[in-house]
């Protein structure tokens, strides 16, 4: 998947007809005795209707300290033991503070980590489940553990010792690194980007608790205006009178294949009877691996795509999803979908091999390309979300544009690989007309132009779609 540009479009409306008030299930085989029947599986109270979907747990979590108490909390924090956060830890504080992980109220305690690792879900007081597939945990080392064990709260500070938050009612427990990696990625092979970056050299202990975040987290990179919280997004969707919100998670440049998919999805939602479906174009803004196109360049490219009118600004909201990237395939796509429920999305577009990557050691993709959408369609706690799988589109030479791939005339289609795209952009050549809007392409040309080859003379490879 990593080496081919493609985009996909929803299955035939025959299947899509089921979507309007149920959880869409792709047509892979389920034995009768255990077949997933969304109509029976979905409690009436949760049926998706016009208006915004309820956040997980019924209430959107907001972990920010209210202005009046802020000074008090700062003084309180001054007397607490300190735990230093990495950049990625701060990204998770950001994610938690705005309620993307509702109903989580802070870094996971052991009972939440165990439920996440074994069940990809958390059980609520009423016995219902919310989805939670990715561990959101904070690691500390032995000396940090020593320094905090006497206290019930700790102050969380960034690399400049700036106070970020207070973690209260703390629980410290063993960091089961190998088990965490195996159950999250389905492999322990060396070279998993997030593992190398955040787990391998992290502490042997995890500290869970409830977060009190002192100030809104800003990155001052000129993109903070795009970082809308789930509450901001819900207000925006309401302002626009959206009766359906369909989310498109991406971490790569948008080409016309994606645009085709998104506009076609809106058309289908209108066909289904929705009056005003709004697209949440939601690039991931947290940690990504070195060969992904950086957020700043992606945002420039997305802006051009909107300027060039490929997508309609009237019915599109572009915002940044602050989560770091795990590249954990079927496990992570659940997190990507669940977080968008909290932001008000009731439709989620899922592609081939979501959150996937090549196996770090073996010559194959890490995950089966179809497992992501299958797991997503069966995941506990996501019954209320309508899953929109899509099939491959490619460049149709006969039409001179991106179109749904038609196997019966395969020879008419051109799959433009990442290598091919990089080579074109690097040589300042143009792709086939209609592959990407000129403004967006120009941004990519500038990006690759800006890259200085690394020691081994290799330039990072973009991984579109």
Q: Which stretch binds a copy of itself (CB under 8 A): 91-99, 116-124, 221-229, 319-327?
A: 116-124
Q: Of 12, 13, 17, 37, which lies in the binding site for a copy of itself, with binding defined by CB under 8 A?
A: 37
Q: Is 105 in the site for a copy of itself (CB under 8 A)?
A: yes
DSSP 99-154: TTTTT--SSPPHHHHHHHHHHSEEE-TTS-EEE--S----EE-HHHHHHHTT-S-E
Q: Is 40 in the site for a copy of itself (CB under 8 A)?
A: yes
Q: Of 69, 142, 146, 178, which lies in the binding site for a copy of itself, with binding defined by CB under 8 A?
A: 178
Q: Of 87, 179, 232, 446, which lies in the binding site for a copy of itself, with binding defined by CB under 8 A?
A: 179
CB closer to a copy of itself, 114 vs 445: 114
Q: Is 114 in the site for a copy of itself (CB under 8 A)?
A: yes
Q: Of 72, 182, 216, 410, which lies in the binding site for a copy of itself, with binding defined by CB under 8 A?
A: 182
163 SS3 class: strand
Residues 379-408 that bind a copy of itself (CB under 8 A): 379-380, 383
Report d(CA 78, CA 105) in Å as an integer. 22
Q: Of 47, 64, 183, 420, which lies in the binding site for a copy of itself, with binding defined by CB under 8 A?
A: 183
Helix (H) or strand (E) segment spanning residue 82: strand 82-84
Report d(CA 102, CA 245) in Å as an integer. 19
Phi, psi of 43 (to 5 degrees): -55, 140
Q: Which stretch binds a copy of itself (CB under 8 A): 169-177, 223-231, 349-357, 441-449?
A: 169-177
- 321 in Cβ contact with 339 (< 8 Å): yes
Q: Is 78 in the site for a copy of itself (CB under 8 A)?
A: no
CB closer to a copy of itself, 367 vs 404: 367
Residues 239-268 that bind a copy of itself (CB under 8 A): none
Q: In this structure, what is the dihedral angle of CA atoms 39, 40, 45, 47, given to the nearest 10 degrees?
A: -20
Report d(CA 55, CA 104) in Å as an integer. 12
* Residue 358 CB, nearest approach to a copy of itself (Å): 14
Cα–Cα distance list, 456 to 58, 208, 460 (Å): 52, 41, 11
Q: Using alpha carbons, select from 319, 392, 385 the residue that is nearest to residue 353.
A: 392
Q: Which stretch binds a copy of itself (CB under 8 A): 4-12, 109-117, 154-162, 420-428?
A: 109-117
* Residue 106 CB, nearest approach to a copy of itself (Å): 8
Q: Is 45 in the site for a copy of itself (CB under 8 A)?
A: no
Q: Using alpha carbons, select from 439, 454, 465, 89 the residue that is nearest to residue 293.
A: 465
Q: Using alpha carbons, select from 333, 321, 80 the residue that is nearest to residue 207.
A: 80
* Residue 103 CB, nearest approach to a copy of itself (Å): 5
Q: Of 67, 126, 314, 455, which lies in the binding site for a copy of itself, with binding defined by CB under 8 A?
A: 126
Q: Of 89, 98, 197, 210, which lies in the binding site for a copy of itself, with binding defined by CB under 8 A?
A: 210
CB closer to a copy of itself, 197 vs 210: 210
CA atoms within 13 A on the CB side of 264: 23
Tokens of 258: 């994606």
Q: Is 28 in the site for a copy of itself (CB under 8 A)?
A: yes
Q: By CB under 8 A, how many residues form the interface with a copy of itself? A: 63
3-state helix, strand, coil split of the chain in percent (to 5) is: 35, 20, 45
Per DSSP, 241 falls in state: T
Q: Is 196 in the site for a copy of itself (CB under 8 A)?
A: no
Residues 306-365 that bind a copy of itself (CB under 8 A): 330-331
Q: Which residues bind a copy of itself (CB under 8 A)?
A: 28-31, 33-37, 40-43, 57, 103-106, 109-112, 114-115, 117-127, 129, 133, 169, 171, 174, 176, 178-179, 182-183, 185-189, 208, 210, 330-331, 367-368, 371, 374-375, 378-380, 383
């Amino acid at each position: 998947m990593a080496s081919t540009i493609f985009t996909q479009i929803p299955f035939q409306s025959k299947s899509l007809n089921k979507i309007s008030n149920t959880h869409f299930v792709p047509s892979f085989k389920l034995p009768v005795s255990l077949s997933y029947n969304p109509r029976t599986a979905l409690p009436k109270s949760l049926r998706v209707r016009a208006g915004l979907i309820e956040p997980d747990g019924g209430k959107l979590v907001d972990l920010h300290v209210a202005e009046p108490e802020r000074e008090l909390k700062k003084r309180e924090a001054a007397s607490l033991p300190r735990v230093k956060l990495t950049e990625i830890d701060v990204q998770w504080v950001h994610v938690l503070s705005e309620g993307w992980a509702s109903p989580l109220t802070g870094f996971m305690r052991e009972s939440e980590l165990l439920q996440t690792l074994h069940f990809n879900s958390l059980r609520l007081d009423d016995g219902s489940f919310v989805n939670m597939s990715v561990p959101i945990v904070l690691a500390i080392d032995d000396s940090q553990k020593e320094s905090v064990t006497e206290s019930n709260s700790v102050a969380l500070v960034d690399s400049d010792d700036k106070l970020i938050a207070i973690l209260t009612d703390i629980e410290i427990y063993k960091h089961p690194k190998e088990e965490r990696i195996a159950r999250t990625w389905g492999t322990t092979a060396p070279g998993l980007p997030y593992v190398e970056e955040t787990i391998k050299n992290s502490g042997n202990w995890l500290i869970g608790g409830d977060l009190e975040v002192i100030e809104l987290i800003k990155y001052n990179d000129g993109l903070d205006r795009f970082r809308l919280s789930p509450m901001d997004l819900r207000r925006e969707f309401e302002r626009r009178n959206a009766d359906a919100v369909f989310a498109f998670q991406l971490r790569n440049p948008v080409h016309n294949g994606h645009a085709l998919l998104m506009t076609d999805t809106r058309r289908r939602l209108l066909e289904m009877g929705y009056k005003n479906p709004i697209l949440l174009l939601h690039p991931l803004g947290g940690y990504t691996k070195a060969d992904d196109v950086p957020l700043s360049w992606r945002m420039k490219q997305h802006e051009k795509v909107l300027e060039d009118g490929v997508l309609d600004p009237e019915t599109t909201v572009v915002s940044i999803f602050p989560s770091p990237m795990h590249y954990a395939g079927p496990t992570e796509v659940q997190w990507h979908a669940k977080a968008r429920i909290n932001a008000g999305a009731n439709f989620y577009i899922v592609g081939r091999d979501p959150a996937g990557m090549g196996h770090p050691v073996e010559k194959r993709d890490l995950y089966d390309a179809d497992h992501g959408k299958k797991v997503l369609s069966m995941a506990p706690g996501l019954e209320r979300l309508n899953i929109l799988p899509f099939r491959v589109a490619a460049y149709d030479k006969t039409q001179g544009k991106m179109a749904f791939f038609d196997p019966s005339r395969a020879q008419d289609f051109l799959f433009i690989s990442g290598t091919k795209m990089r080579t074109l952009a690097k040589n300042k050549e143009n792709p086939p007309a209609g592959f990407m809007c000129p403004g967006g392409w120009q941004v990519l040309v500038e990006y690759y132009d800006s890259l200085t080859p690394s020691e081994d003379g290799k330039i990072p490879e973009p991984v579109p779609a």
